[in-house]
Structure 1
Amino acid sequence: MTSDPQKPIEVAIIEDNQALGESLQRVVESIPNARCIGVWGTAEEGLKKIDAFRPAIVLMDINLPGMSGIEATALLKRHLPEILVIIVTVHREHEKIFDALKAGACGYLIKRSRAADVRQAIMDVYAGGAPMSAEIARRVVEAFHQNAAKAGAETETVVLSQRETAVAKLIAEGLANKEIADRLGISTETVRGHLKNIYEKLHVRSRTEAAVKYLDSVRSRNVFP
């Protein structure tokens, strides 16, 4: 697919607090070249609409009635791994934030964040970043390393194409999508396509997990260009 610079960044919001949902919608629509495709109060309702509209980003409340934001994130990343999820949470929910990131969320926002911080997080995630604290990031990386170590000899051989290998290497170096595109001389849309393939081949749901699994696989010679 060819990248269209005129295409707006489409954002969906799943938030059961109506006032907060409307506030987030206003923030999204204040971003140049972005639009909110809808606000839904439950994961069950929101996931149906997201499957139909396929937005680029979802702002997901972590505490929802019925299916939780963590469960919804895992389900969404399993079926639509290219969609980026930002968890919206309250302070000191470190365990839930950690679980959401393991489920595939790209980062998180604290409720009561300033509008400028919300806008920056959305743009950072769209560019390939991952807004999260150093403490949470460290715990996620450690968990993925532990999981890789437990897998041990059961790790399967994964074949990445030469271009996918180059993209995975740059992800592991911490580069954002725009930086990867510039480095490789390709469009950001093409980078996203390679990311989708990498996620599927490595059986992961987030950039952090992809980077760690790629590095572990390279060390054990289970990834080949």
Structure 2
Amino acid sequence: MLNKQRKLGHCKIKTLFLLGQAQTQTQHSQKKKDSNKRRQRSKKMAGAAGIRRKMPQRPPPPPSVLPPRPSNTLPRRPFYVDREKTCPLLLRVFTKVGSHHSREDFAVRGQEPKNEFQIYTWKDATLRELTDLVKEVTPAARRRDARLSFAFVFPEKQGHLVVRLVGKTFSYGSGEMDDGKALAQLGFQIGDYLDVAIF
């Protein structure tokens, strides 16, 4: 009787042990399945992200078209300076009635001719504009038949001063000669003097 009970007890223990092993294996296989599912999901997500990165970008918007210039604005000169945004330059102007000054008159710095006035202007200033400024300062230039001759005074490569004629105007413009020529078009450089002969 005791032997039978012992055998039954052993059988029960063995059965419980086998059940425990089976449950452990089941849990282990379930964990494997869950991990495999997670990997597949992560791969799908990575693939979807890669596809998104490879999607073509939208083309940039077309450049905005500038509005046409209003009809009441003046046409630009051949050489144009935005005078509202560009600082003016200081121009030293020397006048003489009957002829131009010689280069010897400018040889000694600080002893230039006395009949000088200074103006602030820009490189696109025309000879007509400069003529009107000279007339405000020099009475001889206001004569009805007065003619003005313009020359730049500047040092050449060797250092010697040069007086170079650049244009002529009438005191009261006739629309001819060199009225519309700008300083920059005539080769003016900042630092040059302007010599004006009045005839």
TM-score by length of 2: 0.21
> Taking CA–CA contacts closer than 8 Å with sequence separation of 6 or more, which of the two structures ends up with the larger relative contact order?
2
Normalized per residue, the structure richer in helix is: 1
Normalized per residue, the structure richer in strand is: 2
Structure label with greater radius of gyration? 2
TM-score by length of 1: 0.20
